[in-house]
Amino acid sequence: MTNWWWIRHGPTHHKGLVGWSDIAADLSNVSALKRLQAHLPEDGLVVSSDLQRCVTTANAIQGARIRLPHNDNLREFNFGDWELRNASDIAKEYPDLSKEYWSNPGETAPPHGESWNQAAKRVCSAIDAISAEHQGKNIIAVGHFGVILTQIQRAAKMPASSAISFQIDNLSITKIEYLGGTDWRVLGVNFKP
């Protein structure tokens, strides 16, 4: 079994949709980072998205653990023309499209962005490659809200419309176990040590 310990990066405090924008994380909550670092397996391999909010969070919790290269396929969803805009402004400008995007995630995408299915395919491909290379290991992955939701969806075999309802707080742990083949299971969501 391969254990995935998903950590959502530190907060950015931005009020709009933050996808591929490279915005820094606020890592001032040192006690939360120390608790997180102490809770994670010492033999874990650390990997993160290549965006600085994940890289710096991974740096803060890595300790003596081995670090894998940053992976751009673990980036958050690409929100295209909706990037850094707030939901109410998007809903006013794209009422039907935004309603479909959030209520029925799947093939619908923001203008010049990617759909849930496109993002999930990208992320799952990266996860599968890492799982194959590091079979039976503890993998500590510092990622993004949407990325973690795609893995909950896959492991629980639920529709995206159900996965999108999960809360994933900054600096929380979501643990997912890879059993082999197409078998995964969710062991815990949004845990804060």
Superfamily of domain 2-191: Phosphoglycerate mutase-like (3.40.50.1240)
The count of other CB atoms within 10 Å of the CB of residue 93 is: 13
> What is the average per-residue pLDDT within 57-76?
97
pLDDT tens, residue by residue, 129-159: 999 999 999 999 999 999 999 999 999 999 9
All residues at 6 or more sequence positions from 125 whose CB lies less than 8 Å from its CB, including other chains: 73
Mean pLDDT (the chain, rounded): 97
Query: Is 0.75 topped by the overall pTM?
Result: yes
In a 3-state reduction of DSSP, which class is residue 121?
helix
Domain ranges of the chain: 2-191
The secondary structure of 37-79, three-state, reads HHHCCCCCEEEEECCHHHHHHHHHHHCCCEECCCEHHHCCCCC
> What is the average per-residue pLDDT within 58-75?
97
Confidence of residue 82 (pLDDT cuts 50, 70, 90): very high
